[in-house]
Chain A
Amino acid sequence: MSPKSNIWFLILLFSPLVVIVLSSFDTVFAQESEEYVIRRVEIWALFYRLMVAAFVVGAVVQGAIVYVCWRFRESHKRNKVREIEGV
């Protein structure tokens, strides 16, 4: 991978997590502007944020596994048979 494609890859990977983190600030400020914090709103909002993060991480891991399996399959053009050393 070239450095430029690395950067884009990392931006694509981290942008959902950054959006989640930034959106949590709005939630906190919205709650703090009222007189009292509503417990269930805070807790459910945290739950949704963590679930989104968990599913994003799961998707990334699954995507990485799929890519590795596809890239290193036997029939891939760039996978040439190499000589085994010492034999």
Chain B
Amino acid sequence: MGHATIEWVYVGVVIALLTWVGAESWNVERIVEHVPAEAETIKVTGQQWFWTFEHQDGKKETGELHLKQGVPYKFELVSKDVIHNFNVPDYTILMDAVPGRVNVVWNLFDKPGEYHIQCREYCGFGHSTMKAKLFVEPQTVEAAENATAAPTQVPPAPAQAPTQGQNATSAAPAPASST
């Protein structure tokens, strides 16, 4: 007794499924790899066993990285010795730093806070301690206060009486944080 039809259906289903998986993955990779032209470049150097960061304006940081919320950043990863891997788990960033090569990954940090950077490619004795801290700073002081404050309102600055139609976010300097 033959089952040619159902067997061909089975083969077709498997091929269709694998094609779909491949197409979905390729599409997401295409989307996340497209670096915005206005992204600010951060040069990330991995070496045994610490991370250093160089901003576009020349500012250098070691062991920690301060970035701004809502700004696209392009990371150019280099290594001075062995292969390392630049990983920010909370933002799903994972890219090798290979000696003799520059790998590029970009990201936009949409939530302010403190995050971990770690190495995810075994690079020797100190691999497990090859970590750094990422600080994503809020875009505005108002956003910072909203992120950390209890639900109390900031009183307006006394010099500027609120008028009708005045934009709440316009140029009055916010009061200094009491913390």
Contacts and interface: CB of A to CB of B under 8 A. Distances in A.
Contacts of A57: 17
Contact of A39 (B9, B13, B27, B107): B107
Interface stretch (B18-26, B57-65, B152-160): B18-26
Contacts of B31: 28, 31, 37, 42
Dominant SS at the A interface?
Answer: helix
A31 B24 CA distance: 15
Contact of B28 (A21, A38, A43, A53): A43
A31 B34 CA distance: 13
Contacts of A13: 13
Interface stretch (A44-52, A70-78, A79-87): A44-52
B25 A46 contact: yes
A40 B93 CA distance: 8
Interface size classification for chain A = 20 to 34
A42 B110 CA distance: 14
Contacts of A40: 90-92
A28 B107 CA distance: 17
B46 interface: no
**Residue from A13, A31, A40, A53 whose CB has the most chain B CB atoms within 10 Å:** A40
A36 interface: yes
B72 interface: yes
B32 interface: yes
A36 B34 CA distance: 10
Given A28-B31, A50-B21, A57-B17, A39 B72 contact: no
26 contacts: A10-B9, A13-B13, A17-B20, A24-B24, A28-B31, A31-B31, A36-B72, A37-B31, A37-B108, A38-B110, A39-B32, A39-B92, A39-B107, A40-B91, A40-B92, A42-B31, A43-B32, A44-B92, A45-B28, A46-B25, A46-B28, A50-B21, A50-B24, A50-B25, A53-B17, A57-B17
